[in-house]
């Protein structure tokens, strides 16, 4: 059983995200981003809540430029839900736990 937030990188993106049997919520973030750090506990909570239904990962935008560019991430925090290799939801900016739960429910998570 895993409920920890996984580290997603350019190197493991294809295997951990595109080939995932379950949807993946990715938190694109940066160490220098205060809203990203404030949202981290919420992401940890969602990882526990989504256990068994989805994978949750964080990708540092400065350390992983290929994936960051591919998703056209221009601001952080930037959240994306990928299901079957397709982006089904994107959210930019900080969000409360309830806001994120509502948006995730809209894509059946």
How much of the chain, in percent, has pLDDT values that exceed 90?
Answer: 96
Residue 23 phi/psi, 5-degree rounding, is: -60, 155
Residue 4 has pLDDT above 90, yes or no: no
Model-level pTM?
Answer: 0.93
What is the pLDDT of the chain when averaged over all its residues? 94
Distance CA 12, CA 104 (A): 24
* Domain ranges within the chain, ordered by starting residue: 6-105
Known catalytic membership, residue 33: yes
Q: Which CATH number is correct for 6-105, 3.40.640.10, 3.90.1640.10, 3.40.30.10, 3.40.50.300?
A: 3.40.30.10
Task: Choose the catalytic residue: 8, 33, 76, 109.
Answer: 33
Task: Choose the catalytic residue: 24, 30, 36, 82.
Answer: 36
Known catalytic membership, residue 78: no
């Amino acid at each position: 059983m895993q409920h920890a937030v996984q580290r997603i990188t350019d190197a493991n993106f294809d295997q951990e995200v595109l080939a995932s049997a379950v949807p993946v919520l990715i938190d694109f973030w940066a160490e220098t981003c205060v809203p990203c750090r404030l949202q981290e506990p919420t992401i940890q909570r969602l990882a526990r809540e989504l256990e068994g239904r989805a994978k949750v990962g964080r990708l540092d935008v400065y350390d992983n430029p290929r994936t960051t560019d591919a998703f056209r991430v221009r601001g952080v925090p930037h959240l994306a839900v990928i299901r079957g290799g397709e982006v089904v939801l994107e959210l930019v900016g900080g969000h409360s736990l309830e806001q994120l739960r509502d948006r995730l429910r809209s894509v059946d998570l």
